[in-house]
Structure 1
């Protein structure tokens, strides 16, 4: 698998052709998705494609991970399981996040929780972890806390559109403060797991995905 030639300088831009193509795909699919979800004539179709979009982004992330070994898949599975269990607790008890229920947009559900939500948490955790690898923050604790704050900010940009597009729904359409507190706590836990695996610095592909998530949901709010 081709990788960036300058591995001694992980802060340098993505230089390999596969990385450039991956970045183009990420930007293109988010841009097309933003337009498609914002047009009344196509929004239903594009919402049905959301699970497939998440799977495509997962394939891109896996392909671009340098030194793809078994421990990477162990990491992915661990993130999926922790996040899925947290969502199970949240949906069925309200102890985490608050009182909410998932709609149909995220696809197939197990015990009323979409399987894609675990995949999404993997994408968010990995992308944020890689972004912070590329930062100048040396302290592990500060990196984790900053990363958790970034993901809370992302959730804040998602929430206005989540109910509109049937991602999930809150009781009385009220988003409790507990949701953001729990997002911060779960994000910090998952980023701690990421840090424990000590992956070597990765290319900017995952960071671009995280940035496009912000742009996508903020764009949806402006256009809807």
Structure 2
């Protein structure tokens, strides 16, 4: 059956080709402003308090490019959010999984001493690194390991930045090895879920979100 091409279809296609470059530009500009604000504005606390808005904007852009909001994907999103959030609740209150740490005020409203946005951050990281690992032709298990390692790479650069800007703090101001072991365990389980869940995984913005985040935190890491 032939698809009818109308002027509206042509116009929509024309605008669609600009949507990805525009989204990437917005991501880059917003993170660049945050980078400048934290390091050079002289009003560090103001820009720290913008962190929740930055995270929400990043996720809004990311999931605007998700193509199929079926029940499988919605369940995936809810479960990854919940597992990430409750892993942090367990970690904060018991020291299990990650070590002894507490959250500051920069990430916004908390439930059980854990910022609600942490669950969203876990979802964003699992989703973006899972997409990047899918660029390979590897076995699904190898992809899950790659996605996990990409999450650990980003966390390595986030940790000292997080302590500097009141995201969270570690007992003794030292990041324990248990943090990375716990991250690997939780992230790997969620990466396996990503690989096995039957939803469309062709988000064009996913890799850019991860790379902008990596650039942001690597830059802060070396300039602290």
TM normalised by structure 2 equals 0.89
1:38 equivalent in structure 2: 39
Q: Output the CA distance in 2 between the equivalents of 1:52 and 1:205.
A: 19
Q: Output the CA distance in 2 between the equivalents of 1:135 and 1:211.
A: 17
Give the 3-state SS of the residue equivalent to 1:163 in structure 2: helix
Check the 8 A contact 2:92/2:114 in 1, yes or no.
yes
Pairs within 5 Å for 1:61-76: 61-76=62-77
Structure 1 residue 23 displacement after superposition: 1.3
Q: Output the CA distance in 1 between the equivalents of 2:106 and 2:86.
A: 20
Q: Output the CA distance in 2 between the equivalents of 1:198 and 1:123.
A: 18
1:8 equivalent in structure 2: none
Check the 8 A contact 2:72/2:199 in 1, yes or no.
no
Q: Output the CA distance in 2 between the equivalents of 1:109 and 1:39.
A: 29
Unpaired runs of at least 5, structure 1: 6-14
1:27 equivalent in structure 2: 28
Unpaired runs of at least 5, structure 2: 1-8
2:177 paired with 1:213: no
Aligned residues: CA RMSD: 1.8
Runs of 4+ residues deviating >4 angstroms: none
Q: Output the CA distance in 1 between the equivalents of 2:104 and 2:67.
A: 35
Give the 3-state SS of the residue equivalent to 2:105 in structure 1: coil
Rg (Cα) greater in structure: 2
Check the 8 A contact 1:134/1:201 in 2, yes or no.
no
2:92 paired with 1:128: no
Structure 1 residue 198 displacement after superposition: 3.0
TM normalised by structure 1 equals 0.89
Q: Output the CA distance in 1 between the equivalents of 2:210 and 2:27.
A: 10
1:186 equivalent in structure 2: 186
Between the two proteins, the alignment pairs up a number of residues equal to 212
Give the 3-state SS of the residue equivalent to 2:169 in structure 1: strand
1:149 equivalent in structure 2: 149
2:91 equivalent in structure 1: 90
Q: Output the CA distance in 1 between the equivalents of 2:65 and 2:204.
A: 9
Q: Output the CA distance in 2 between the equivalents of 1:46 and 1:72.
A: 33
